[in-house]
Chain A
């Protein structure tokens, strides 16, 4: 009886890599198709919400607030609102999509196929990043109607958005792995993400807070993302150093990726 060869020949390895790439591309296209198919639920509501934020907090209230963090209040809230929409959409895309594939059992179609778990994870995360970037772009265009701005550091701005989208896509994935019912994928956004985002320096500078609450805020990872993203766009010094933000987010990405992969390898929530 022929035995398998654990070590692949160069040709086999190339063929496997190519098959993995095709599988990754297929998952990403499937994910993008999914959120585009339901665009009234995925792309329109964030655009409407953000326009309301710009109108109410930026135009109506902001004109009375004056300057904050070295910027007009309207300009000050733009980076936070873009980041908020990226975080929410990247997270909810992966959480709802992966949970749905579990619920409908269509995850089995991936598990029976020769796709490494890392490729499955990367595919779902790329789908979440795609939706996060898509909504982020829509909100940025909306912001352009209220504020004139140019980007100070394109690399930092794009880098922060990408890292944040990856991190929260991974967060959504972990949430979906443990979710047993649809309610379970709305608990974390409602009770963790939303409070952290609102208290993450989107609408105010940490300088306004008493010492104790400022110190507490430094434990909120979203503070780092919003502050560095604001620096990337406007070039004004934020609440925390940029290098610290990049290191912290990068560290969390590695941690969340490792946790997600271990869960997939163990088959938690998907294999009996």
Chain B
């Protein structure tokens, strides 16, 4: 049996003003996992991460990192974690290389090891040529990558990323995804929070959704997406049509002259829909999901009563 990378039991947090941010959550992340921790703003994600990284004091409960209780041996537990926070938290007047090397020193790495790892991760994240620049001269995307390099400099076994791609353009975001997948394949357990649900869907194997301080879903990404009973597709046509085709079994809706929408319920196949369109004399140019599948589920799971979306659990 492999040790869980992260094990949380009965975690509660009540802030000084009486607000209960976490209502006794249990969570386990397996070693080697790429895990998504999602939730709306104020749901308790950052509080959970803060407690794991000892930035927030817990009210009750236990946190273990690879079996090490953070209360009993904080130093050993902390050495195993690397954290990329949501907000930039470095001095903008310091040099890029110094920021990473100093972090290596905080983890007790010798000057030589610190310098070697700094070079390694700055190169891997494309920041080596900026090592002598002050951090204030970096672009937003570079600052995000700097925080990832800094979190990795002591080579943690568990990497926690709190919205690492916020405000980053799509090209850099995709290169960061590729880098994180590479890290995960090399054995680093990764926990990711993000508001880009496409990011969580494409990267993560397991997922927990937290809402109002409680875990409302904790399963594999595949199982969660399997709960979708209806998916809406957008169909672009080669030629304009006057109206949506009347096809038995499929409810096409017209968006504009060359665009249709189709709700596909579980058990229906796209092949049958294509065949139906073909028999109606319509040629399909392209097909896409109307919205991200995880996004549909997320809204459904975290929506307050009365505002639930049309999706239902299967």
Which chain B residues lie closer than 8 Å to A30 at the CB level? 98, 102
A23 on interface, CB distance cutoff 8 Å: yes
Which residues of chain A are within 8 angstroms of B109 by Cβ–Cβ distance?
22
| B74, B93, B105 — most chain A CB neighbours (10 Å) | B105
Does B61 lie at the interface of the complex (its beta carbon under 8 Å from any beta carbon of A)? no
Interface segment out of the listed A110-118, A147-155, A156-164, A169-177 = A110-118
**In the complex, which of the residues B7, B64, B91, B108 contacts A19, with contact meaning CB atoms closer than 8 Å?**
B108
Nearest chain A CB to B8 CB, angstrom units: 13
Check if B72 is an interface residue, CB within 8 A of chain A.
yes
Contact A109 B89 (CB under 8 A): yes
CA distance A25 to B103 in the complex (A): 12
Bound complex: CA A1 to CA B30 (Å): 12
Q: How far is the CB of A155 from chain B (nearest CB, A)?
A: 33
What's the minimum C-beta distance from B247 to chain A, rounded to whole angstroms? 56
For residue B79, which residue of chain A has the nearest CB? A114
**Would A3 and B67 count as touching, CB distance under 8 A?**
yes
Closest to B105 in A: A26
Query: B53 interface residue, CB < 8 Å from A?
Result: yes
CB <8 Å contact, A1 and B67: yes
Q: Given contacts A22-B105, A108-B85, is CB(A114)–CB(B75) below 8 Å?
A: yes
Q: Is B43 an interface position by the 8 A CB rule?
A: no
A114 and B108 form a contact (CB under 8 A)? yes
If A100-B91, A272-B15 touch, does A26 touch B7 (CB 8 Å cutoff)?
no
Q: Is the CB of B55 within 8 A of A22?
A: no
Q: Does any Cβ of B come within 8 Å of A37's Cβ?
A: yes
Contact A113 B98 (CB under 8 A): no
Q: Contact at A23–B105, with CB atoms within 8 Å? A: yes
Residue A267 interfacial (CB < 8 Å)? yes
Is B291's CB within 8 Å of the partner chain A?
no
Q: Are B57 and A109 in contact (CB under 8 A)?
A: no
Query: Chain A residues with Cβ under 8 A from B69's Cβ?
Result: 3-4
A16 within 8 A of B: yes
Interface size range on B against A: 35 or more
CB neighbours (8 Å) of B102 from chain A are 26, 30, 109
Contact for A113 among B64, B73, B78, CB less than 8 A: B78
Q: Within 8 Å CB of B3, what residues of A? A: 1-2
Residues of the A chain whose Cβ atoms lie less than 8 Å from the Cβ of B237: none
Q: Which of A16-73 contact B (CB under 8 A)?
A: 16, 18-20, 22-23, 25-27, 29-30, 33, 37
Q: For the complex, give the distance between the alpha carbons of A5 and B69 in Å.
A: 9
On whether the beta carbons of A272 and B89 are closer than 8 Å, the reply is no
By a CB distance below 8 angstroms, the chain A residues around B106 are 23, 26-27, 109-110, 113, 115
Asked if B116 is at the interface of the complex by the 8 Å CB criterion, the answer is no
Minimum CB–CB distance for B141 against chain A, Å: 20
Q: Which residues of B contact A267 (CB under 8 A)?
A: 57
CB of A19 within 8 A of CB of B107, answer: yes
Rounded to whole angstroms, the CA-CA distance of A113 and B83 in the bound complex is 10
Cβ of B76: which chain A residues have Cβ within 8 Å of it? 4, 114
Query: Taking CB as reference atom, which chain B residue is nearest A101?
Result: B91
User: What are the interface flags for A93-115 relative to B under an 8 Å C-beta threshold, 1 for contact and 0 otherwise?
Assistant: 00000001100111011111111
B7 touches A1 (CB 8 A): yes
- In chain B, residues 2-51, which have Cβ atoms closer than 8 Å to a Cβ of chain A? 3-4, 7, 15, 47, 50
Bound-state CA distance A15–B73 (Å) is 14
Indicate if B110 sits at the interface (CB-CB under 8 A): yes
Name B107's contact: one of A33, A114, A272 (CB within 8 Å).
A114
B81 at interface, CB cutoff 8 A:
yes
Nearest chain-A residue to B51 (Cβ)? A272
B83 touches A112 (CB 8 A): yes
**Is B90 interfacial (CB 8 A cutoff)?**
yes
A4: chain B residues within 8 A (beta carbon): 67-69, 72-73, 76-77
Indicate if A195 sits at the interface (CB-CB under 8 A): no
Which 9 A-B pairs rank lowest in CB-CB distance, beginning with the nearest? A19-B108, A26-B105, A114-B75, A113-B106, A2-B67, A105-B89, A114-B78, A4-B73, A4-B68
- A interface residues with partner B (beta carbon < 8 Å): 1-6, 15-16, 18-20, 22-23, 25-27, 29-30, 33, 37, 100-101, 104-106, 108-116, 267, 271-272
Other 17 A-B pairs with CB < 8 A, given A2-B3, A4-B73, A19-B107: A1-B4, A1-B67, A2-B66, A3-B67, A3-B69, A6-B72, A16-B75, A22-B110, A30-B98, A37-B93, A101-B91, A104-B90, A108-B53, A109-B103, A112-B83, A271-B55, A272-B50
